Amino acid sequence: MSSKPLSSQPQSSQSPSSPPADGTAPVGAPPISTAHATLRYTSMRASIFLGCLLLALLLGHFGIIPVAGASGYVFLVLLAALVSAPLSYVLLSKQRDQMSAQIADKVSGRLRSRTAERIAAQNAEEDAADDAARSAAAAQN
């Protein structure tokens, strides 16, 4: 017996369920969806902020970060926002790109449809004026 694979196709080093390194969908798989990309990005960013806030509150509770009164908690919230911003920027770049592509597609689609409607209306006006001029010229002859 031979130890050759039954399939005549070459064996890939990646499993069928793992996406390729370049971010595209595997062969035979549906394309990567950008549906709800804004919701996904926003919820992940809020989760990062809440994680940073929880960490800051825990550090404040155990006295690692000094907290004095209500202004100390405001400081902890600002600290969490300051820490979560660069983390979100680095960790969520792929989601941010998907979100911007989704928004750009929607905006360009609306502009194309508005432009098409405007051109169709102008063509209809021009056709009506041309038909009126031709019927007036035919009536004179």
Predicted local confidence at residue 12, as pLDDT: 46
What predicted TM-score, i.e. pTM, was given to this entire model?
Answer: 0.57
pLDDT confidence bin for 116, thresholds 50/70/90: confident
Q: What is the distance between the alpha carbons of residues 74 and 96, in angstroms, rounded to a whole number?
A: 28
* C-alpha distances in Å from residue 8, one per residue of 4, 5, 11, 53, 57: 9, 7, 9, 54, 59
- Comparing 86 with 24, the larger pLDDT belongs to 86
Q: Is the confidence at residue 25, as pLDDT, over 80?
A: no
Q: Is the confidence at residue 42, as pLDDT, over 70?
A: yes
Predicted local confidence at residue 34, as pLDDT: 64
pLDDT confidence bin for 62, thresholds 50/70/90: very high
- Comparing 22 with 131, the larger pLDDT belongs to 131
Among 27-41, 44-58, 65-79, 103-117, which stretch is predicted with the lowest mean pLDDT? 27-41
Mean pLDDT of 104-110: 81
Helix, strand, coil percent content, the chain, rounded in steps of 5? 70, 0, 30
